[in-house]
Amino acid sequence: MTITAKYCNNCNYILHADKNHCASCFSDDLETKELKGLGEVYSYTKIHAAPKDYADIAPYYIVLIDLDEGLRITGRYIGESVEINQKVKVDNVDKNAYIFKALEE
């Protein structure tokens, strides 16, 4: 499982994959690249009262991840507990959400 992002060929800024113009220099000369899928937990919240589609997996964590390449994305975290600055890797994609797990070191 990989995460992709776009890089600006004009100024090398990194952007979310759904962007069409560089947020830094407004160029549309963007190139899609694969990311390693590794990062650190920037913030998280635990969901106890889940929407119906997710009730069977509650409680679960929504996490904000700072990827090694410098992009911040949201996802779900699979595990008993999670901490700020914890190292994680993307595991798969479920219902359009990136699923992260702890990175074993």
Query: What is the binding site for Zn ion (CB under 5 A)?
Result: 8, 10-11, 13, 22, 24-25, 27
Do the Cβ atoms of 44 and 80 come closer than 8 Å? no
CB of 27 to Zn ion, least distance (A): 5
Min. distance of Cβ 25 from Zn ion in angstroms?
3
At 6, the amino acid letter reads K
User: Is residue 24 a contact partner of residue 71, using CB atoms and an 8 Å limit?
Assistant: no
**Residue 7 vs 60, nearer CB to Zn ion:** 7
Nearer to Zn ion, 9 or 81 (CB): 9
3-class SS shares of the chain: helix, strand, coil, % to 5: 5, 50, 45
Between 27 and 32, whose beta carbon lies closer to Zn ion? 27
Output the smallest distance, CB 33 to Zn ion, in A.
14
Minimum CB separation from Zn ion for residue 12, in Å?
Answer: 7
Q: What is the rounded distance in angstroms from the CA atom of residue 70 to the CA atom of residue 89?
A: 14
